[in-house]
Amino acid sequence: MASHGIPWYRRRISKWAHLRSIPLSRLWMLLLAAFLLFSIFGFYADLMSRGTLPYAAAFLLAAISGVNAMLWILTVARLPAVFIAGLVVLQFFIGALNATAAHWMARSFHFRTVPSEQGIHFAATSILICSITSYFFFTNFIRTEGKRSLILQNELELAHSIQQTLVPTLEIRTLRFELYGISRPSDKVGGDLVDAVLLTSGDLIAFLADISGHGLPASILMGRVKTAARTALLDAAEREPSDTLPLLLNRLNIVLPQVKEPTAFATFTGFHLGADGNIFCALAASPPIVHWHASAQSISQFQEPQFPVGLLPVCQFDGFPLDASSGDLFVVATDGILEVANKQGEEFGMERLQAAIAQNHSDPLPELAGKILSAARTFGHQFDDQTILAVRCL
């Protein structure tokens, strides 16, 4: 499902979201590295004072600078983004806080000033030690998280190969119909499914499903939907063509709630392409089907208002026959294409989809699908899985 229109500041903050998944048992190295690196500012202040600050005061200023850096990391990693505004305000008072702390220490403990040459040597040595030590902790943190990232990357590559196996590009031709389906996930894996099953009767069942959500959870549920759908179609050749898709949706609606999160669901568009040339269709909360009428050289769209699959205990899903002539074309595109938004917030929408189909209706289906995807990619950034199912009557 689409997540277009994400504000730029939300997208920037989301780049740091990986820190939220790091437990404190591993994050401490980064915190300590940042503390040591930014504590240098306290010793730098001592250098600017010609090394005359008492040692305790220099350490206090260094500690304040280091804690400030740790607060930034902890806020980004663990707290809501609104706390960042508080940290920004705090930066305007850091100088006053340092001066107050140094004055309080001098008044309370009556520390003597340090000889200039001795103090400069101390501050320079402290800066060197903090720099080297922070580098050590930074490299250890990067190496540790790098190993974990490499493992995760390998797992994602494996998931991507599984995705290609589960959702290959479809290109099927029968005596009556030509079919093409393609899916481009927004990440390594996605939740869109396009599939086709050839029955022993010679009929062809083609369907497109869009799983709510993104990434690996949606991909896992997509695999379950494909398995459940193919299992439900094992005896489809023995049933009336008009009953195949409604029964398939009813079975999916019973099975899916048992193998998914409560809020997850799937939209569905299915075609029963008969060996005799008849077409039956069933929809479940899916985008409209675009119909190119070859004889009239015109285009139309239609949809059936039904609930999505796996969300509510719907009693019965319905199907309906389609009237089609030789050369007619049916195209379904998921929200990942229709809801692509440009910089002005305009969506690609049904009108642009229809225009692309009308302009290229005579092209081979792979070329037609490629031009639609290219038009969407040119129009705006892809935030959701983009899938197309096209059927042409021969």
Q: Which of 329, 347, 341, 335 is nearest to 308 (CA)?
A: 335
CB atoms within 10 A of CB 261: 12
Q: What share of the chain is helix, strand, coil (3-state, %, to 5)?
A: 50, 20, 30
Tokens of 210: 């869009």
The model's pTM is: 0.66
- Please answer whether residues 219 and 196 qualify as being in contact, where contact means their C-beta atoms are separated by less than 8 angstroms: no
Sheet with 266-273: list strands edge to edge.
192-198, 204-211, 266-273, 279-284, 320-322
Q: Could you give phi then psi for residue 253, rounded to 5 degrees? A: -70, -25
pLDDT of residue 12: 44
Distance between CA atoms of 326 and 369, rounded to whole angstroms? 20
The residues that bridge with 387 in the sheet, in sequence order, are 183
Give Cβ neighbours of residue 140 (< 8 Å, ≥ 6 apart). Answer: 29
Query: What's the number of CA atoms in the CB half-sphere (13 Å) around residue 98?
Result: 24
Largest CA distance in the chain: 101
DSSP string, 176-190: SEEEEEEEE-SSSS-
**Crossing angle of helices 40-48 and 116-166, rounded to 10°:** 150
* Stretch (H or E) spanning 391: strand 386-393
**CA–CA separation, 359 and 318 (whole Å):** 32
Number of neighbours of residue 263 by Cβ within 10 angstroms:
8
Would you give the DSSP letter of residue 341?
A: B
Please give the pLDDT value at position 51.
86
Pairwise CA distance, residues 289 & 103, whole Å:
75
pLDDT in tens, 117-158: 898 999 999 999 999 999 999 998 888 877 777 666 666 666
Tell me if residue 206 falls in helix, strand or coil: strand
Structure confidence at residue 5 (pLDDT): 43
Going residue by residue through the chain, which has 394 residues, state the pLDDT in tens, using 9 for 90 and above: 544 444 433 444 445 556 666 777 788 888 999 999 999 998 988 888 888 888 888 898 899 999 999 988 888 777 777 788 888 888 888 878 877 877 777 677 767 778 888 989 999 999 999 999 999 999 988 888 777 776 666 666 666 666 666 678 999 999 999 999 999 988 777 889 999 999 999 999 999 999 987 777 888 888 889 999 999 999 888 889 899 999 999 999 999 888 888 888 999 999 999 999 999 999 999 899 999 999 999 999 998 888 899 888 877 888 999 999 999 999 999 999 999 999 899 999 999 999 999 999 999 999 999 999 999 999 999 988 999 999 999 9
Instruction: List, in order of start, the domains of the chain with CATH numbers.
Output: 8-160 (no CATH), 167-393 (3.60.40.10)
Contacts of 33 (CB under 8 A, 6+ apart): 134, 135, 136, 137, 138, 141
Give the pLDDT of residue 96: 82
